[in-house]
Amino acid sequence: MATLANTWLIMALLFLLCWWVARNATKVPGRLQAAVEMFVEFFEEICNSTLGPEYGRKYMPFVGTIFMFVVIGNMIGSVPNFLFWLGWPGFVAPTQDLNTPLALAIVVLLVVHISAIKIKGFRAWLWDFFEPSFPGTDTVGRVLGFIILAGALVANYYAWTGYAGAYSEAGTQFRVVVGALCSILALLTILMTIFSFQLGRVPNIFMAPLNFVGELGKSISHPFRLYGNVFGGFVITVVLSELTFYVGLPPFLNFFFGIFIGVVQAFVFAMLALAYVAVAITE
């Protein structure tokens, strides 16, 4: 409940800040507008240097929003609960709940792959999972590639044969899962065979599982890095506060983990999201 309440509070604060600055924007900016403009220019420069001017400005709002949400989410846990008389559950950092970093990582994953499909095309996006591929102009590479494709067809045959044999014996859930896997395997084999002739290259079937695991690994390490640092700081603060009887040390720890480490981890999380987008949309 506390995580959900603080998440909505952070979103409301960000919305009100953007609305207020946009509503009161002037040619001669005040302090708040100047601070916001400096923030926008800073992230726009980073995005332009990473993605280029063509895509940098387009992805700057996405990267900047992630940074602002995460940095406020990390720092809000250091605020005393002065709204307890309203029944507020307390200012708890949403990022110390694993669900929040996982949700952010899923959003980043969707943006990365949808951007890759939109910018590079579906064929190039799918082909990346089979890189490094064999050059089609090389006789040895072409022969080896056709052997791999033939092996994939054999795997399709045995998969569908096993699926047909187990259809009458297994439960409905098993039929759906195995049938879906067989269909995906068959579809990928057909697509990669067509693409290999169109692009003049032969796909490396052996690299597909490794590249898929690599993408999955990035999506797992991305949220766990943030969660581990924020939750670890919370645990250290609680343990040391108990040992020192809350004398002197807790304010320093709250400042260190809530503000300093919170800003650093938010910046790292946003930069990783930017790096994943850059890798995905690069030819």
> Count H helices, E strands: the chain?
10, 2
pLDDT tens across 171-219, in order?
A: 555 666 666 676 777 777 777 666 666 666 667 777 777 888 888 888 8
Decide if 193 contacts 152 (C-beta within 8 A): no
Q: Model-level pTM?
A: 0.75
How far is Cα 167 from Cα 177, in angstroms, rounded to an integer?
11
H/E element, 202: strand 201-202
Closest CA to 17 of 62, 69, 92, 76: 69
Decide if 63 contacts 47 (C-beta within 8 A): yes
Report residue 236 as tokens.
């250290």
Q: What value does the mean pLDDT take over residues 154-177?
A: 64
Q: Across 96-183, where does the E strand assignment appear?
A: 134-135
Decide if 70 contacts 270 (C-beta within 8 A): yes
Banded pLDDT at 92 (limits 50, 70, 90): confident
Decide if 178 contacts 166 (C-beta within 8 A): yes
Q: What value does the mean pLDDT take over residues 227-244?
A: 71
